[in-house]
């Protein structure tokens, strides 16, 4: 499973990129607002830092506006992916960009039928929002499983990008359910490496090693 980081904070992206853990980046208007920075400037910086796909979301709700904004964003860098909402206008814009060879990420997906439409529109990625479904007592992971089955039934190449991830368990469950990618907040990516027994074991090894009085170098 590929790992994308879900943030617009360049320093966080840079740190994870240095660990070699990043396959791409997703942003959304809320994350851009939280960063307090200029949208296009941030996207350009991220694209210069990360080789993989970087999702930049249109703000327009209308087809013409989405096309104009998406074309503008696509010029920032080769690895920009145009993020479009799962509406009829967004699906039409998705078809437009796909035909032009520009990658797309169709976002705010909450049903398998929406995911089916995105695949038919040629989306590169579909983003089902797990956490927001869990928030309303619907199992987000069932959605991933349903989309996986439908895409496999018909050989759709659209990649399932598990989004709105809120916990380490979401990452594991999404991987088990067959998501192609998970976009994950930075703190959760780093937390995946943690285990109390790893810390305890390391502490003991360090103590025993010190008692040997040896050095490796």
**28: helix, coil or strand?**
coil
Nearest approach, Cβ of residue 77 and ligand E4P (Å): 18
How many CB atoms are closer than 10 A to CB 205?
10
For 147-170, letters b (16+ CB in 10 Å) and e give: bbeebeeeebebbbbbbbbbeeeb
Residue 17 or 28 with smaller CB distance to ligand E4P: 28
Closest residue to ligand E4P in the complex (CB)? 164
Binding site for ligand E4P (CB under 6 A): 6, 26, 28, 107, 127, 129, 131-132, 163-164, 183
What is the nearest approach in angstroms of ligand E4P to the Cβ of residue 104?
13
* Cβ-based nearer residue to ligand E4P, 114 or 164: 164
- Three-state DSSP at 58 gives coil
Active site annotation includes 83: yes
Catalytic residue among 34, 78, 83, 190: 83
The minimum distance between CB 159 and ligand E4P, in angstroms, equals 13
Rounded distance, CA 8 to CA 29, Å? 9
**Of residues 172 and 200, the one with the C-beta less far from ligand E4P:** 172
Smallest separation (angstroms) from ligand E4P to the CB of 29: 9
Please say which residue, 36 or 155, places its beta carbon nearer to ligand E4P: 36
Three-state secondary-structure class, residue 29: helix
Beta strand ranges found along the chain (DSSP E):
2-6, 24-26, 54-57, 80-85, 104-109, 125-128, 159-162, 181-184
**Residues annotated as catalytic (active site), given as ranges:** 83
């Amino acid at each position: 499973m590929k790992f994308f980081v879900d943030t617009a904070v360049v320093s966080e992206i840079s740190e994870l990129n240095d660990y070699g853990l990043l396959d791409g980046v997703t942003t959304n208007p809320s994350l851009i607002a939280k960063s307090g920075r200029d949208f296009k400037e941030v996207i350009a910086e991220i694209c210069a830092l990360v080789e993989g796909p970087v999702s930049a979301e249109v703000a327009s709700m209308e087809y013409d506006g989405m096309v104009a904004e998406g074309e503008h964003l696509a010029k920032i860098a080769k690895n920009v992916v145009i993020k479009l909402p799962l509406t009829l206008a967004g699906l039409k814009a998705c078809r437009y960009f796909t035909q032009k060879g520009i990658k797309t990420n169709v976002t705010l997906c909450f049903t398998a039928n929406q995911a089916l439409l995105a695949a038919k529109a040629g989306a590169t990625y579909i983003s089902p929002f797990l956490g927001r479904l869990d928030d309303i007592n619907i199992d987000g992971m069932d959605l991933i499983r349903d989309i996986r089955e439908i895409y496999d039934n018909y050989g759709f190449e659209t990649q399932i990008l598990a989004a709105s991830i809120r916990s380490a368990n979401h990452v594991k469950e999404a991987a088990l359910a067959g998501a192609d990618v998970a976009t994950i907040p930075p703190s959760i990516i780093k937390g995946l490496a943690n285990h109390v027994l790893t810390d305890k074991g390391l502490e003991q090894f360090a103590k025993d090693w010190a008692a040997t009085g040896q050095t490796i170098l």
